[in-house]
Chain A
Amino acid sequence: MSLIHRINRSLGSEALPLLGALLVVVVGFSLATPLFLTASNFGSMAFQLPVLGLLTLAMMVPILSGGLNLAIIYTANISGLTLATVLIAFGGPEAGIGAFLIGSLAALLVGTLAGLMMGLIVAYVGAHPILVSLAMMIFLRGLGEFLTRGGDISGFPDYMKVIGHGSLAGIPVPLLIFIAAAILWHIMLRRTRHGFSVFMIGSNIDAAEYSGIPTKRTLATLYALSGLICAVAGILMAARFNSVRVGHGEALLLVTVLACFLGGLDPFGGFGRVLPVCLALAILQALSSGLNLIGANQHLATAVWGLFLIAVMAIRWAAGRLNITRFGRT
C-alpha cells in the first residue's frame, strides 16, 4: 500500500493504472498473435511512435495552461518545408551536413516564431487559444499550400536517413530523440520556474498574476516552446518520409489531444504529467500495431482509440464516485 502511495506521489496517480492498461493490451495481443511479442514489431513501433509523441508533447503544454494548440501539425509541416527549402537550395541530395544544420536551425526558428505569435495573441489580446490556434492552423495550411502548390518536396541527402531510420546502440534514433524531448519536457514542467508557472496559469491565471507570476511572458513562451517541438517533429517527419508535404500527419492532430486526455491531463488545465502521457502514447501505438498484426485495417485502430478513451473516462468516473462514497466528500 505504501509502495503504491509512494509511486503515485512521485509519478502521478495516473501512471500505475495506465501501466496496467498497457500490460493488458500487450498481453492480449501477445496471446492473439505470435507476431506481436517480436523484436521486429517492437522495432517498428519504436520507429512509428516518436512523431506522434513529439506532437503530443507540443499539444501537452498548452493544455496544461488551460488552452489548446490546434496548429501543431501545420507548424511541423511549415518547419519541415523550411528545412526542405534550404536543402534544395544547397543541391538537394548533394547538400552537405552544414546545409542540414542551417536548414534545421531555420526550421526550429520558424516553428518557434509560429508558436510565439500565437502565444503573444493569447497573452496580450486575451483571445481564446482555440480560436487563435485554429486561425493560425488555417493560415499555415494556406501558406504551405501556396508555397508548395499542394505538391511534395523530396530528394534529401542520404545521411538524413540516419535520423529517420537509423539506430544507435540498437535503439532507433527517432525514439532517442523522443525520449530526450520527453525528459526535457518533464524537467521543464516539474523543475523550472516556467513549468511551475504553466501549471499555476492553468488553474487560475488571475491569482497567478497576483502572486507575481509573469503570466503574459509565460503564455508567450509556452506557445513558442510548443512551436519549437513541432519543428523537431517536422524535421523528423522529413527524415522519415524523405519528403515534405503540407498536410502530412494531418490525422494526428486530434490523436494528440486524445493522448493527452488519456494520459490524465485535466482538460481545464493545471494538472498533468509527462510520464502518464508517454504511457498513453505507448498504449495507442500498441493498439494500432497489434490490430494491424491481427489483420484489422488501419482505421479500426482509430476507432478503437476513441472507444478506449471513452472507456477510460467511464472508469475514472466510476473510481471518482467510489472515492466520494468512501471518504464522504461532497
Chain B
Amino acid sequence: MPRLFTTHPVEARLAIVLALIVLGLSLSTDSFLTLANLTSLLNNNSVDLIWAVGLLVVLIAGGIDISFAVAASVVQYLTAQIFGATGGNWALGFIVAGSLGIGLGLINAALIHGFRVISIVITIATFNAYFGLLMSFTKGRNIYTLPDWWVDRIFIFEHQSENGVWSELNLSVAVMIVCVFATVVLIRWTNIGRQLYAFGDNPEGARRAGVNIALMQAVAFGWMGMMAGIGGLMQVNIAQEVIPNALYGRELDVLAAVVLGGARLGGGRGSVLGCILGVMFVAVTRNGLNLLGVSPFAFQMIIGAAILVAISSSNLNFDWRGAARRRRATTGRDAA
C-alpha cells in the first residue's frame, strides 16, 4: 500500500475513500455487508466494468471514445438480426458480438489515423452516425424475440442464507472477470501494452522509438470495440430485450468513473485497479444512499457532488494542457 501511494496516488486515495464509505455503510446499515447486497452490487455493475476497462485502454493510448455505448447497441441489434429468434449459442454469440464490436472500433481507429483527426471529433461523429442509423433501422422499436440461450439466466454462484434470502452471481460477472483479467494481461504484461502507455505518454517519443502508430490506434479502439460488443451481449442477458436507445448516455457515466479512477485524459496513465475503484465508488455510493433510505431522485445529485468534491480536493490530471500540446505536435505531422 505505501508503494501504491507513490506509483498510483489517485488510485490509493480513491481506495481509502471507498474503504471509508464501505466501513461507514457497514456500521450504519445492517443490509450493506450482506452476501445478497454485495452480489447484487457485482451483478448490477459488471457491464459498466466491462466497458470501463475497454475505455481505459483508449484513454491510456491518449484517445477518448464517445461512441462505445451506442456501438454496443448497434452490436446488440445486429446480433439479434443475425441469430433471429432461435439461432446461435453462447460461443457464437461471443464471437459475433466481439467481432462486430471490433469492427466498429476499427472504423474509429481508421478514421482517426487515416485523416489525422483527434479521437473526440471522430467518435462524436460516429456516435451520431451509429445512433442515427440504428434508430432509423429499428424505428426505435424494442426486440423481445431473442434466442433462449441469450436471455436465460445463468448463475455461476448461488447461495441461500438461513433466513431464505437468495444470493447469486450471474454470468455477466464471470465475463466481467475474464475481461478485466484480459485487460490486465494486455496493458501490463505484453509488449503491446507497454507501447500503448508510451504512445499515450509521449507520442513523438514513441514514434521515434519505432512504435507503429496505426497499430496502436487499432489495438486501443479495437479492444474498446470488443468490450463494447461483449458488454452489449451481457446487457441483453440482464435486460432480456434489445432496446435501441437504452445505452444512450451511458458513455459519459462510464467515462466519469474511469477518469475518477486515475486514468489521465491525454494518455499515459491509468490502471485497471483504478477503473474498478472508480466504477465501484459510484456504485457503492448509489447502493449506500439506497440502503440509507435517501430518495432515489437525489442519488445522481449526490454522486455528482461527490465527484466534484473529489476533483476539487486533489489536483489530479494537473498537466492536461501540456499533454494536449505534445499531442498536437504529432497528430499534425505525417508518419514519415
Q: Are A302 and B115 in contact (CB under 8 A)?
A: no
Q: Give the docked Cα–Cα distance between A2 and B299 (Å).
A: 60
Which residues of A (48-97) have their CB < 8 Å from a CB of B?
66, 70
Q: Are B304 and A299 in contact (CB under 8 A)?
A: no
Using C-beta atoms within 8 Å of the partner chain, give the interface range for chain A: 35 or more
Q: Are A258 and B301 in contact (CB under 8 A)?
A: no
Looking at A142-150, A170-178, A236-244, the stretch in contact with chain B turns out to be: A142-150
Q: Could you say which of B133, B256, B308 has the most chain A C-beta atoms within 10 Å of its C-beta?
A: B308
Q: Are B128 and A139 in contact (CB under 8 A)?
A: no
Closest to B319 in A: A126
Q: Is the interface of A mostly helix, strand, loop or mixed?
A: helix
Q: Are B298 and A268 in contact (CB under 8 A)?
A: no
Partner of A146, one of B132, B295, B312: B295
Can you list, as one digit per residue, whether each of B218-254 has a CB less than 8 Å from chain A (1) or not (0)? Answer: 0000000000000000000000000000000100110
Does B121 lie at the interface of the complex (its beta carbon under 8 Å from any beta carbon of A)?
yes
Q: Are A254 and B301 in contact (CB under 8 A)?
A: no
Q: Give the docked Cα–Cα distance between A316 and B125 (Å).
A: 15
Q: Are B304 and A121 in contact (CB under 8 A)?
A: no
Q: Give the docked Cα–Cα distance between A204 and B324 (Å).
A: 10
- Chain A residues with CB under 8 Å of B305's CB are 139
Closest to B325 in A: A204
User: Can you list the 6 inter-chain pairs with the closest CB atoms, starting with the nearest?
Assistant: A303-B132, A139-B304, A142-B300, A142-B301, A306-B128, A302-B132
Which B residues lie at the A interface, using CB under 8 A? 64, 66, 111, 114-118, 120-122, 124-136, 139-140, 249, 252-253, 255-256, 259-260, 265-266, 295, 297-305, 307-308, 311-312, 314-318, 320-321, 324-325, 327-328, 333-334
What would 6 more interface pairs be, CB under 8 Å, given A121-B311, A316-B115? Answer: A127-B315, A142-B298, A142-B303, A261-B121, A306-B126, A313-B117
23 contacts between A and B (CB under 8 A): A125-B314, A127-B312, A127-B316, A131-B259, A131-B311, A132-B308, A138-B303, A138-B307, A139-B300, A141-B304, A250-B249, A254-B66, A258-B125, A268-B327, A297-B136, A299-B134, A300-B136, A301-B132, A303-B128, A303-B133, A306-B127, A313-B111, A324-B334
